[in-house]
Amino acid sequence: MITLLGGIGLLILGYVFYGSYIEKNFQIKPDRVTPAKALQDGYDFVPMSKSKNAIIELLNIAGTGPIFGPIMGALYGPVAYLWIVLGCIFAGGVHDYMLGMISLRNNGAHLPELASKYLGKPVKHIVNIFAMLLLLLVATVFVTSPANLISSITPSWMTVGIITVLIFIYYLISTVLPIDKALGKVYPIFGAILIISTIAIGGSLLFSGYSIPNLTPQTLRNFNPEGTAIFPALFFTISCGALSGFHATQAPMVSRTTENEREGRFTFYGMMVGEGVIAMIWAAASMTLFDGQTLSGMINAGTPSAVVNEVSIMLLGNVFGMVAIVGVIVLPISSGLSAFRSCRTILADYIGMKQDKIKKILLVAIPLFLISFVLTQIDFNILWRYFNWANQVTAVIALLVSTRYLFLKGRNYFVTLVPGSFMLYACIVYILSEPIGLQMGLTPLSYILGAVLSLGILWVFWMTGLKQKSSLEPNSQLLNDQWPIQTLAKNEEASELGR
């Protein structure tokens, strides 16, 4: 219990103090006109309130990640708490804030466009591939997982296949609606369900007499019943509750609806902390109610959705447990919708197809839905492994973009370089050692080769950064966040309207 409460307390303190430092280091400009106002189009660029933006950001990034990930991470024992707390404060929160704010300073641009601007145009194509691959995997996982959950609480004739088709139909309808209608109207309701169910699970866990595992010198070890090493596997198993590249694809969506830069810390960093709290509660519940062998058996028999069902019913009973399950269901459905919407806009930007008519929207969206539907036929556990790797590679790219941004402006770039370098090394070791990669196993060679490759990539990153900075003029757009000329005119017009 002490570790659970202490961890949640540290997450809150991280938001108050480290989040404030990250905001100060970024140097916000509250008087600056945001893309929501300067580029208002009634569809993707729509000014919305701070509270709506925050709840949309939370539901966009949450999905089943901060629940399924910690459930599987609980196999490692209390050491999972460390990654959730430290990862959320020093990696995930910084990652989400920086990407959201850099996007806000760049017309609400998505990660591929930002990578092109700050890392070089050739990188744009690589990042586009990774971003769209990740979003398709996310969208597919976030169709499969709620379909399994809904199937477990509905009559037998309501099969996973039928539910999957119904979810796709909902996504298709929602993706052609303006963002304030598709998300702004229903997400506050979904958010209320999520928050109430999370508090109910956490409260029942604390006050029902359970012995919640604590992190102590004796429990600071690997409890995984299958002997899977903590590094790098844990850092991919628990991603959305600590550090997740998927968030880099979602923050730009909210940067297009944010009215003031002052809202960024609460919307981006704060909602990442909220996700960390969700992850702590579900990790604690899984460790408390099941031993490693039982938990492993339930996960391997299907998906972590079986654990969600058991935890909810055991802690809250049949009626309220069902409400909690519904709370978990709305998470992936909301994130799946956001993933498809982001994937569509990234692809549309890449091919230069403006999304101003329903016909154009459907021309981009329908092929993505068809690809995702095919992917739903693949085993969930295989999908999850590929999603995990693509997810953290995207996080590395986002952190390197943020590092270059801070470096070019002469600010403290170590806040993003350190977590980015760590996760880069983890990504390379993972792809060298895992079955989805080169299958070298966790041998000394894979660790050494991973270190050599990581240092090589970082050296290239550093040298290109030095060259880029030395070639910049004092009034360069990269240094001063100047808007493109056509956008600047709209800014001035918006300022006139404001007067």
150-184 burial by CB neighbour count: b if 16+ within 10 A, else e? bbeeeeeeeeeeebbeebbeebeebbbbebbebbb
Q: Extract the tokens encoding 188.
A: 């506050």
Token pair 């923050």 in the structure block, residue: 251
- 452-466: b or e for each residue (b if 16 or more CB lie within 10 Å)? ebbeebbeebeeebe
When mean pLDDT is compared across 200-209, 266-275, 411-420, the lowest value belongs to 200-209
Tokens of 231: 């590094």
**271: which 2 tokens?**
């909602």
Q: How far apart are CA 423 and CA 498, in angstroms?
A: 44
Mean pLDDT confidence for 103-115: 92
Residues with Cβ within 8 Å of residue 147, at least 6 apart in sequence: 160, 163, 164, 167, 376
* Predicted pLDDT of residue 498: 36
pLDDT of residue 490: 46
Rounded Cα distance, 362 and 475, in Å: 41
The predicted structure's pLDDT at residue 61: 82
Please list the alpha-helical segments (H only) found in 154-291.
160-175, 179-182, 187-207, 234-237, 246-255, 264, 271-289
pLDDT of residue 235: 94
Got the DSSP string for 383-436?
A: HHHHHHHHHHHHHHHHHHHHHHHHHHTTS--HHHHHHHHHHHHHHHHHHHHSTT
Q: What is the largest CA-CA distance in the chain?
A: 67
pLDDT at 129: 82
Contact status, residue 186 vs residue 55, Cβ threshold 8 Å? no
The CA distance from 343 to 383, in Å, is 18
Residue 373 confidence (pLDDT) above 60: yes
pLDDT, mean of residues 195-202: 86
Q: How far apart are CA 217 and CA 92, in angstroms?
A: 26
Contact 391, 412 (CB under 8 A): no
Residue 497: count of CB within 10 angstroms of its CB:
8
Cis ω for the linkage preceding 188 (within 30 of 0): no
Choose among 304, 307, 292, 302: nearest CA to 75.
292
Query: Mind listing the pLDDT tens digit for each residue in 60-99?
Result: 787 666 788 898 999 999 999 999 999 999 999 999 999 9
Neighbours of 189 (CB within 10 A): 11
What does the alpha-carbon distance between residue 256 and residue 253 come to, in Å, rounded to a whole number? 6
pLDDT given at position 320:
76
* Residue 229 · residue 222 · CB < 8 Å: yes
When pLDDT is cut at 50, 70 and 90, the band that residue 486 belongs to is very low
Q: Closest by alpha carbon to 14, among 211, 273, 208, 225? A: 273
Confidence band, pLDDT 50/70/90 cuts, at residue 497: very low
Q: What is the pLDDT of residue 491?
A: 45
Instruction: Spell out the domains of the chain, with CATH numbers in brackets.
Output: 2-395 (1.20.1740.10)
Asked whether residue 414 carries a pLDDT value surpassing 80, the answer given is yes
pLDDT in tens, 246-296: 899 889 989 999 999 999 999 999 999 999 999 999 999 999 998 888 888
Question: What is the distance between the alpha carbons of residues 71 and 65, in angstroms, rounded to a whole number?
Answer: 10
C-alpha span between 249 and 136 (Å, rounded): 12
Give the pLDDT band (50/70/90) at residue 384. low
pLDDT of residue 499: 34
Residue type, 488: L
Q: What is the DSSP letter of 17?
A: I
Burial of 262 (0-12, 13-18, 19+ CB in 10 A): middle
